[in-house]
Structure 1
């Protein structure tokens, strides 16, 4: 059974990843950021992965396998985001969203594995 804390974190994460994924796909400013990271060809792919992960978190509330899959994938995605931000020379503050979401989804991964 998912704790109320984990349930709330899953809802917040899901909404965040879906919104951010849509931003990756449709925002001109975000496409410029991806160029800065050396990932100019990938904003749509990353956006779709984030949307799929966010939806997977919601499905995972009912089917734990999807929670494991989604949290694991999103943790890896945020690890890579942090890597590319550091490579681009971003400050700690600029990298903090990726760091926070990597830790958050990593925590949810551990919760999901132990369900």
Structure 2
């Protein structure tokens, strides 16, 4: 279970983070939509890349995967809050909520597996 979640989450976070770091147009628009500077959005992207890589490394170092998933869960929870405070409809915050739950599921499964 943890392997599948780690791979799926990494396949989500690595490209998203890299596109934020590269400041591709759609990511610049997303940053502008919530009033975030592109530089700060790049920091978020770097955190996503670090988290995705940490999940993959967590396949051999469980503590690292748990730390990465916990960090990603906090990051995505914050993203959901930002969307809702910005006045976005719930559907705009839903991907962040789903990713939060998935990262927490990984954490729970990894901790229970030992």
Does the alignment reach a TM-score above 0.5?
yes
Match of 1:21 among 17, 21, 24: 17
Q: 4+ residue runs of structure 1 moved beyond 6 angstroms? A: none
TM-score, with length taken from structure 1: 0.89
CA distance in 1, matches of 2:29, 2:72: 22
CA RMSD in angstroms comes to 1.2
TM-score, with length taken from structure 2: 0.90
Q: Does 1:35 align with 2:32?
A: yes
Q: How many residues align?
A: 111
In structure 1, stretches of 5+ residues that fail to align are: none
Match of 1:6 among 2, 9, 13: 2
In structure 2, stretches of 5+ residues that fail to align are: none
Shift of 1:95: 1.4
CA distance in 2, matches of 1:65, 1:6: 12
